Structure 1
């Protein structure tokens, strides 16, 4: 079978921003954090005789995640560690090891501000060096949720008197610094399942293998999430 180029030699491989006009939209469920909408559209907007498709989707505000990395000296030399929190996730009935993360639910905050806040609130940490690590959709077949994962380095603990008071699921959420190789093995062995953690760890390995030259700035353009605040599509 001949190879088919997705780019046809014109530009680097990238997803295409070609939303179909929505003919009908209705919110069928209003939730505390996200809603469920039912939308109808035509795959070919010019084909007037084509029956519309109807899909239900989660309307999500979007989120950020933070992979905080530090280097510790050991008897065998420098050792990279990443910050993980263990949080109970009721839908799957499991306590998952996760990178700190949170919703874009404060008006006026840009993505980096959300990341700084979440790292402080969930892990009592702050960082002096920030980069964009990777962007992804959690479930593009059924949700608008888009997540940016940041890389945070030169990390330090926040003094106890300045720390956020955690409640609900976050109240019993321990922090652990775990060796990067150990976390990578856990991801590849199927022992760690949180999507942001899996994506972040694999992206970190790819960036490290390429000498960090592909890291994007902290304010790099973000993928679109139609129903979320402040997103734009890369030119």
Structure 2
């Protein structure tokens, strides 16, 4: 896009149009969280993340997307979803917003990922996940924000 700059001159800004996404932090009754481990090509690393995915189309209900991604990536379904927040992921070059949810009252089932998705389900205490944020092992922004926002509302063992 061509934009007018504060000094009156014109500049060119390239940006990515994105339909948006939803992410969900599943919380088990014992205080464990469910994350997924997967390889991320753009950074060349395996990451530990909350289950998430793109909205199928602009205007899709983000909660519907969160439910779908939780089921596909982990096999779990949830009876209760609480909205944590909505974040703008990369305001300098994308219009992507991710809607973050906390899922409770979980039931396990079978994982059914997309054909090109290879994820491993990982269960751990919330306290351990927060420690992995502090040590830099968890680096994904949506996951860090989800964990930090959910922590005050979740049981954390000492």
Structure-2 residue corresponding to 1:187:
133
Task: State the number of aligned residues.
Answer: 155
Q: Residue 71 of structure 1: CA displacement? A: 1.9
CA distance in 1, matches of 2:36, 2:138: 12
Per-residue CA distance 1:104-129 (angstroms, 9 max, x = gap): 12466311111111111111010001
Deviation of 1:52 (Å): 2.4
The structure, 1 or 2, with the larger RCO (C-alpha pairs under 8 Å, 6+ apart) is 2
Per the alignment, residue 99 of structure 1 pairs with 50
Q: What is the CA deviation profile of residues 143-174 of structure 1, one whole-angstrom value per residue up to 9, with x for unaligned ones?
A: 1111011111001112x4xx535422x2x311
Please say if 1:129 is aligned against 2:80: yes
CA distance in 1: counterparts of 2:137 and 2:154, whole angstroms? 23
Unpaired segments of 5 or more residues in structure 2?
A: none
CA apart distance, 1:41: 2.3
The 5-angstrom pairing of residues 25-104 of structure 1 reads: 39-43=1-5, 50-72=8-30, 80-104=31-55
1:125-204 maps to which residues of 2 (within 5 A)?
Answer: 125-158=76-109, 160=110, 164=112, 166-168=114-116, 170=117, 172-204=118-150
Q: Given the two structures, how large is their TM-score scaled by the length of structure 2?
A: 0.89
Contact 2:2–2:11 at 8 Å: present in 1 too? yes
Give yes or no for contact 2:133–2:144 (8 Å, CA) kept in 1. yes
Unaligned 5+ runs, structure 1: 1-38, 73-79, 210-235
TM-score, reference length from structure 1: 0.61
Q: CA separation in 1, counterparts of 2:113 and 2:94?
A: 31
Cα distance in 2 for partners of 1:188, 1:81 equals 18
